[in-house]
């Protein structure tokens, strides 16, 4: 490599100049100017750098019209510049070689480039890559528009040295910018963290958190439990539980790192506020259950209990119990699901009953409905089923309306009504007042009930299936032969034959009052035991 002592000194000065500054634009400008000064026959010097879009963009140049050159964007492999970028191997090229490679330029790039070099034709040039740790980050080009001038190997090596120095300086500048950016993001993040910590300590609540994050983002941020457009929704997650979403006017992907960090801090603050509110909710549930326990255990109706329940000594109460066919009404692993469920139920019940108290007891929900309740039972039960939203597996039992001092009776009745529901596949709502003889065996030992069924209709259950079906239909139609025959699509004589055979098998006469009552009770208990 034949480089003069003067050029070596100038290269050292250039290296010193490049390493003294960490300002990227200053480095790029110095780089192009240095290359132009060092290469004696250079008419233009152009630097292209790789951008985030994967294209080579014009960065700086000497001897060109920058307004046109800024519009040049080479694909890797496009023109001689793009080829050197891909191969990472510099070249000294003639004008013919340049023109041959320019045929692979896009029409737009060709027009802007040709105007950028003042519509001159390249006669010769040098193209070298800027390589850092085996990765090409740009291309440096020197052009000559005089046909009598050719570049030398010495020129090529000088430009290579400049390019190597420049690559290091550029990467150092980018690393410095990245460190500054991260420090700035950290500073912003700490400031945002302090702001939301202060909000929590002052107990400002959800509305102030939303107002603060909206100010930080510079646009309205809304809280929602659901998200219709997921691309504009930032999830609020804590301990693997989804608390809802921040709804934004712009896609989440378009946010800066600082904006995303701000949303993370806001989400943490909001979830902690929800947890705090949930703690207060659980405390309120405990107080309500404690007061209810006092009432059901005959405690004196003191002012505290009446105040807690918003009641007076003349109030009349009915107790409603909500349970589940199987499993639990809410996910016990969730922090907020139980609270949301209770509040939704309270809102629904208030439509029907102005004075109501809802709380939990073990894994059941208790609702106390006060003072001259309207006849809305079934409609209310349907609305509660809708709120529960668990595939209609919720069961509801309702006790009678009683004096406040007799609330324990209504609670016991609601308990028995729920028990009856849970034992019947197609029963989701039962009021105690609608239960007839079923009340007699709700708390009876099942083994005694099974023995009664076996004694009364055990032999019938051993007969062919059509006899059991016939007897059930006969009972449902209150011994009407005509209706039973029509419903079963059989001849009346066939029905008479079957009924007679059943009577003989059971040693009963259905015309006798005692035998018929025994049959009705046996089937009612049978239905209860085998829902």
Q: How confident is the model at residue 351 (pLDDT cuts 50, 70, 90)?
A: confident
Domain presence at residue 196 = no
In angstroms, rounded to a whole number, what is the distance separating the alpha carbons of residues 527 and 519? 12
CATH assignment of the domain containing 448: 1.10.10.2840
Count of domains forming the chain: 4
pLDDT at 18: 56
Answer yes or no: is 183 within a domain.
no
In a domain, 195, yes or no: no
* Apex 75 CA angle, 73 and 79, nearest 5: 90
State what percent of residues in the chain have pLDDT above 90. Answer: 36
pLDDT score of 12: 54
Confidence of residue 3 (pLDDT cuts 50, 70, 90): low
Please give the angle made by the CA atoms of 284, 403 and 408, to the nearest 5 degrees. 60
In a domain, residue 184? The reply is no
Give whole-number Cα distances, 227 to 207, 214, 232, 271, in Å.
Answer: 19, 18, 8, 17
Instruction: Give the CA angle between residues 337, 341, 346 to the nearest 5°.
Output: 150
Mean pLDDT value of segment 408-413? 92
3-state secondary structure of 205: coil
Could you tell me the pLDDT band of residue 288, with boundaries at 50, 70 and 90? Answer: confident
Residue 349 shares a structural domain with residue 411? yes
pLDDT score of 316 more than 70: yes
Burial of 414 (0-12, 13-18, 19+ CB in 10 A): buried
Could you tell me which residue, 18 or 244, shows the higher pLDDT? 244
Q: Are 85 and 140 within one domain?
A: yes
Residue 428 backbone phi and psi in degrees, to 5: -115, -20
- Do the Cβ atoms of 188 and 258 come closer than 8 Å? yes
Q: Is the pLDDT of residue 322 over 80?
A: yes
Mark whether 468 and 342 lie in a shared domain. no
Q: Is residue 197 part of a domain?
A: no
Instruction: Answer for the pair 123, 144: CB distance below 8 angstroms, yes or no.
Output: yes
Helix ranges restricted to H, 57-94: 66-69, 79-87
- Residue 392 and residue 322 in contact, taking contact as beta carbons nearer than 8 Å: no
Give the pLDDT confidence of 264-274 residue by residue, as tens digits: 889 988 998 89
What are the tens digits of pLDDT across the range 435-458? 777 777 777 778 888 898 898 898
Same domain? 161 vs 15: yes
Residue 19 has pLDDT above 70, yes or no: no
Q: Are residues 324 and 283 in the same domain?
A: no
Q: Are strands 429-431 and 394-398 parallel, antiparallel or unpaired?
A: parallel
69 and 142 belong to one structural domain: yes
Residues 140 and 30 in one domain: yes
Q: Beta strands 356-361 and 402-403: pairing type?
A: unpaired
Mean pLDDT of 144-171: 85
Count of C-beta atoms within a 10 Å radius of residue 437: 12
The pLDDT-based confidence of 2 (bands split at 50, 70, 90) is low
Which residues are CB-neighbours of 302 under 8 A, at least 6 positions away? none
Q: Does residue 103 sit in helix, strand or coil?
A: coil
Handedness of CA 115, 118, 123, 124 (dihedral sign): negative
Nearest C-alpha neighbor of 262 from the set 274, 249, 246: 246
Backbone angles phi, psi at 270, to 5 degrees: -65, -45
Q: Measured between alpha carbons, how far is 41 from 144 in angstroms, rounded to an integer?
A: 7
Q: Which residue has the higher pLDDT, 379 or 63?
A: 63
Task: Read off the pLDDT band of 301 (50, 70, 90).
Answer: low
Please give the residue range of the domain that contains residue 393.
310-436
The two tokens of residue 519 are 């049959």
CA dist 272 and 206 (Å) reads 10
Q: Is residue 190 part of a domain?
A: no
Same domain, yes or no, for 465 and 502?
yes
CB 470 within 8 A of CB 502: yes
Residue 161 covered by a domain: yes
Q: Which residues contact 248 (CB under 8 A, 6 or more apart)?
A: 217, 219, 221, 232, 233, 234, 255
Query: For the chain, what is the mean pLDDT?
Result: 85
Is residue 310 within 8 Å of residue 355, measured between CB atoms?
A: yes
**Do 316 and 293 fall into the same domain?**
no
Rounded Cα distance between 354 and 436, Å, is 30
Domain boundary (381, 413, 436) is at 436
Of 193-202, 354-363, 490-499, highest mean pLDDT: 490-499
Distance CA 160, CA 162 (A): 5
Report whether pLDDT(5) > 70. no
Sole residue written with tokens 């809410």: 330
Q: Nearest 5°: phi and psi at 395?
A: -120, 145
Query: Same structural domain for residues 152 and 246?
Result: no
The domain boundary residue, chosen from 261, 278, 299 = 299
The whole-number pLDDT of residue 98 equals 92
The pLDDT of residue 386 is 85
pLDDT-derived band at 373, boundaries 50, 70, 90: low
For the chain, the first-to-last Cα distance in angstroms comes to 99
CA gap 81, 47 in Å, rounded: 10
Q: Coil, helix or strand for 137? A: strand
Let me know if residue 186 belongs to a domain: no
Residues 370/353, Cβ–Cβ less than 8 Å: yes
Q: Stretch 217-242: mean pLDDT, rounded?
A: 90
Q: Which of 160-169, 212-221, 338-347, 400-409 has the lowest mean pLDDT?
A: 160-169
Distance CA 100, CA 102 (A): 5
* Helices assigned H by DSSP within 21-106: 24-38, 66-69, 79-87, 95-102
Give the tokens for residue 346: 């309270």
Give the mean pLDDT of 101-112: 94
Domain check: are 319 and 409 in the same one? yes
pTM across the whole model: 0.58
- 364-378: average pLDDT: 77
Q: Are residues 31 and 165 in the same domain?
A: yes
CATH code for the domain in which residue 159 is found: 3.30.450.40
Q: Which of 177, 192, 215 is the last residue of a domain?
A: 177
């Amino acid at each position: 490599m034949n480089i003069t002592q003067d050029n070596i000194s100038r290269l050292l000065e250039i290296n010193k100049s490049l390493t003294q500054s960490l300002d990227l634009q200053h480095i790029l400008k110095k780089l192009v100017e240095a290359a132009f000064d060092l290469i004696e026959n250079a008419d233009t010097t152009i630097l292209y750098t790789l951008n985030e879009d994967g294209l080579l963009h014009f960065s700086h140049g000497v001897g060109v019209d920058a307004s046109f050159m800024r519009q040049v964007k080479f694909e890797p492999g496009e023109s001689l510049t793009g080829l050197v970028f891909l191969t990472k191997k510099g070249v000294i090229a003639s004008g013919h070689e340049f023109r041959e490679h320019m045929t692979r330029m896009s029409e737009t790039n060709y027009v802007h480039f040709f105007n950028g070099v003042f519509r001159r034709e390249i006669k010769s040039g040098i193209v070298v890559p800027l390589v850092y740790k085996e990765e090409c980050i740009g291309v440096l080009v020197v052009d000559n528009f005089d046909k009598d001038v050719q570049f030398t190997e010495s020129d090529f090596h000088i430009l290579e040295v400049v390019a190597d120095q420049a690559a290091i300086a550029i990467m150092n500048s980018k690393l410095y910018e990245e460190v500054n950016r991260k420090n700035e993001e950290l500073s912003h993040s700490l400031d945002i963290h302090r702001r939301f910590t202060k909000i929590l300590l002052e107990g400002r609540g959800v509305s102030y958190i939303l107002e603060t994050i909206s100010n930080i983002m510079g646009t309205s941020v809304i809280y929602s439990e659901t998200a219709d457009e997921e691309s504009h929704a930032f999830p609020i997650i804590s301990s693997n539980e989804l608390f809802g979403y921040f709804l934004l006017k712009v896609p989440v992907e378009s946010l800066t790192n600082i904006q995303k960090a701000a949303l993370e801090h806001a989400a943490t603050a909001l979830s902690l506020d929800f947890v705090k509110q949930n703690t207060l909710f659980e405390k309120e549930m405990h107080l309500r259950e404690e007061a209810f326990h006092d009432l059901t255990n005959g405690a004196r109706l003191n002012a505290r209990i009446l105040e807690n329940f918003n009641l007076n000594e003349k109030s009349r109460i009915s107790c409603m119990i909500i349970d589940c066919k199987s499993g639990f009404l809410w996910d016990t692993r969730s922090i907020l699901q139980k609270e949301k469920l209770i509040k939704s139920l309270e809102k629904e019940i208030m439509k029907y009953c102005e004075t109501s108290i809802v709380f939990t007891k073990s894994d059941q929900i208790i609702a106390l409905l006060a003072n001259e309740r309207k006849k809305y039972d079934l409609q209310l039960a349907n609305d509660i089923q809708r709120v529960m939203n668990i595939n209609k597996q919720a069961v509801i039992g309702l006790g009678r309306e009683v004096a406040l001092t007799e609330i324990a009776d209504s609670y016991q009745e609601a308990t028995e009504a729920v028990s009856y529901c849970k034992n019947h596949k197609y029963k989701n709502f039962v009021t105690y007042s609608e239960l007839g003889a079923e009340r007699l065996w709700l708390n009876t030992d099942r083994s005694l009930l099974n023995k009664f069924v076996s004694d009364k209709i055990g032999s019938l259950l051993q007969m062919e299936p059509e006899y059991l079906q016939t007897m059930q239909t006969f009972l449902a139609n209150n011994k009407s032969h005509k209706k039973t025959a029509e419903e079963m699509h059989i001849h009346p004589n066939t029905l008479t034959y079957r009924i007679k055979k059943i009577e003989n098998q059971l040693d009963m006469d259905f015309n006798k009052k005692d035998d018929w009552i025994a049959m009705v009770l046996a089937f009612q208990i049978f239905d209860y035991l085998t829902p």
